[in-house]
Amino acid sequence: MTTVLICDDRRSVREGLTRVMSAVPGVQRIDCVAHGDELLARYARQTVDVVLVGTQRAVPTGVEATRRLVAAHPQANVIVFGAPDDAGSIAAAIAGGARGYLRWDASRPELVAALAHTLASTSVPTPRVPTDPGVQLTERELQVLRGMSQGKSNGQIGRELYLSEDTVKTHARRLFRKLGVRDRAQAVAHGFRRGLVS
């Protein structure tokens, strides 16, 4: 049975995540806190299997809460939630020690499936699978990925690289395919993990 702790300063988000988590098989207890200080105090009193932390664009509280918790408790399994186009917050949280993330706009079935998979994979500690050395991005794909990690739009990346927005989208689709990801946020998270961006 799995225990979950949700951290977000928005009551509606906490209540929504609690409803979703209640539908995930194997979840035994769900607790909620609103701020990073509460998160640290609650986790110190009683550790949980998974911590869900919400992030917001241009609001550092979620990222900071993740960093503080992982610094104090390196074994904490933190998953961040964020907007699909807010690659900056998600990447910063991953860099701060989060194990993964989920998109706010994921459908209910996608969310439940992703949470169930994450819970299953974190319930029993397993070593990380080494990065596939066969995955190679071109220099242009790396440039596009770095732009994404800085939260830039396709148009902004294109202007900096003197490329059309459609060309940037083509490079993005190729790097998504090579990394085995579905969107910008996943690509940035993988990039940080692989050391492709910093």
Q: Domain of 157?
A: 139-194
Cβ–Cβ under 8 Å, residues 149 and 172 = no
- The CATH number linked to 175 is 1.10.10.10
Residues 149 and 102 in one domain: no
Which pLDDT tens digit goes with each residue over 56-71?
Answer: 876 778 888 999 999 9
Conformation bin of residue 153: beta by default, left when phi > 0, alpha when psi is -120 to 50 = beta
Which pLDDT tens digit goes with each residue over 4-27?
Answer: 899 999 899 899 888 888 877 778
**What is the pLDDT of the chain when averaged over all its residues?**
80
pLDDT band at residue 121 using 50, 70 and 90 as cut-offs = low
- What pTM did the predictor assign? 0.59
Conformation bin of residue 132: beta by default, left when phi > 0, alpha when psi is -120 to 50 = beta
Residues 75 and 153 in one domain: no
Residues 143 and 114 in one domain: no
Residues 6 and 91 in one domain: yes
pLDDT band at residue 128 using 50, 70 and 90 as cut-offs = very low
Distance CA 138, CA 183 (A): 18
Is 154 inside a domain boundary?
yes
Is 101 inside a domain boundary?
yes
Residues 90 and 158 in one domain: no
Could you tell me which residue, 185 or 163, shows the higher pLDDT?
163
Residues 53 and 112 in one domain: yes
